[in-house]
Amino acid sequence: MSEIELRDVVQRFHARGTPSGFLTAVQSTSFTLRSDPPHIVSLVGQSGSGKSTIARIILGLQRPSSGLVTYGGRDIFKLSRAEYDDYRKNVQPVFQDPYAIFNPFYRVDRVLRTAIKKFSLASTAAEASSLMEESLLAVKLDPGQVLGRYPHQLSGGQRQRIMLARVHMLRPSFIIADEPVSMLDAQVRKLFLDILTDFRTTYGMTTLFITHDLSTVYYIGGEVMVITRGRIVEKGPVSTVMHTPSHPYTQLLLASVPQPDPDARWTDRIDIAQATAAEAGPEVPPEDEALEARVP
């Protein structure tokens, strides 16, 4: 079993126009992702709540201002190059806009071939081809239809599933998926989420599924962490959090989901002022102020 653990992770950014000159994007955050049993945990919160910053920190793309991220008990920012490469093979990202990952001048195959080369997944060209085909089929893509194409010749859903085919080839223990379905339409979104679930059951991959959209959290099930203003305010099984939310922010988030029934009316009243005050807390915790003063 492997574990990714975040312990008291804090991320500050320089921000003009704020009294301290800093903005705390992630406030003392701790949680653990475990590969055994494999599961899907959602991180849900509105735009600007710190979700992508957490994803970048886990992927080692951003060093936090303070706190620790460990993998197998070791600080990921202290790994050797070879160890970090191994970590990144085991912890694969899927981002919101796959179009940004593809180079428009190269055929989409390149995304897969680069992974095969970088991680030495095949020793012959024939082996590489069969590996690509197998992985494309696993994400319900027809190799004949996508291989040899340029990114603009594919739909957003096809491009995103090529990223999943890449994940399938690498068989990581963890997937960090940052708003992976936000740009897809409902049908393709469902297909994508079903493939993630399939990866969990078939290959034992654990996914951190990041989204601002509660309906996808509900669909995918498992566990959920609710984040607001850089702070995780509620965690638990999706069914519990959705049916008996304990934090005012979660209640507000749930109340903001439009009801599909035009005759349905809200029955619960939520005191917005109270909810906002509760979620806001002190803007910068007092102990942080002293720390910030020391940051050059």
- Name the site residues for Mg ion (rule: CB under 5 A): 51-52
Quote the DSSP letter at residue 250.
Answer: H
Helix (H, G, I), strand (E, B) or coil at 84: helix
Give the residue with the Cβ less far from ligand ADP, 43 or 238: 43
Per partner kind, with CB cut-offs from 5 to 8 A, the member of Mg ion, ligand ADP, none near residue 182 is none
Give the residue with the Cβ less far from ligand ADP, 50 or 180: 50
The yes or no reply on residue 136 touching ligand ADP (CB under 6 A) is no
Token representation of residue 238: 């999706």
Strand partners, 70: 5, 75
Of 31, 23, 22, 15, whose CA–CA distance to 50 is shortest? Answer: 23
The yes or no reply on residue 50 touching ligand ADP (CB under 6 A) is yes
Give the residue with the Cβ less far from ligand ADP, 25 or 241: 25
- On the CB side of 137, CA atoms within 13 Å amount to 7
What is d(CA 79, CA 86) in angstroms, rounded to the nearest whole number?
A: 10
CB of 10 to Mg ion, least distance (A): 18
Give the residue with the Cβ less far from ligand ADP, 20 or 240: 20
The yes or no reply on residue 180 touching ligand ADP (CB under 6 A) is no
The yes or no reply on residue 49 touching ligand ADP (CB under 6 A) is yes
CB of 226 to Mg ion, least distance (A): 15
CB of 178 to Mg ion, least distance (A): 6
The count of other CB atoms within 10 Å of the CB of residue 118 is 12
Strand partners, 42: 209, 224
The yes or no reply on residue 52 touching ligand ADP (CB under 6 A) is yes
| Options 43-51, 79-87, 133-141, 248-256: segment touching ligand ADP (CB under 6 A) | 43-51
Per partner kind, with CB cut-offs from 5 to 8 A, the member of ligand ADP, Mg ion, none near residue 231 is none
Q: At what angle do helices 109-118 and 125-138 cross, to 10 degrees?
A: 120
Cα dist. 147→52, 144, 168, 265 in Å? 30, 6, 16, 49
Which residue of 7, 13, 237, 289 would you call a contact of ligand ADP, by CB under 6 A? 13
Per partner kind, with CB cut-offs from 5 to 8 A, the member of Mg ion, ligand ADP, none near residue 25 is ligand ADP
- On the CB side of 31, CA atoms within 13 Å amount to 23
The yes or no reply on residue 228 touching ligand ADP (CB under 6 A) is no
Q: x/- string (CB under 6 A) for ligand ADP, residues 53-72?
A: x-------------------
Q: Are 158 and 102 in contact (CB under 8 A)?
A: no
| Contacts with 254 (C-beta within 8 Å, 6 or more apart), sequence order | 214, 242, 245
CB of 192 to ligand ADP, least distance (A): 19
CB of 33 to Mg ion, least distance (A): 18
Q: Give the CA dihedral 201, 215, 11, 174, nearest 10 degrees.
A: 10
Which residue of 6, 25, 44, 170 would you call a contact of ligand ADP, by CB under 6 A? 25
Q: Are 246 and 45 in contact (CB under 8 A)?
A: no
Positions in the binding site for ligand ADP (CB under 6 A): 13, 23, 25, 45, 47-53
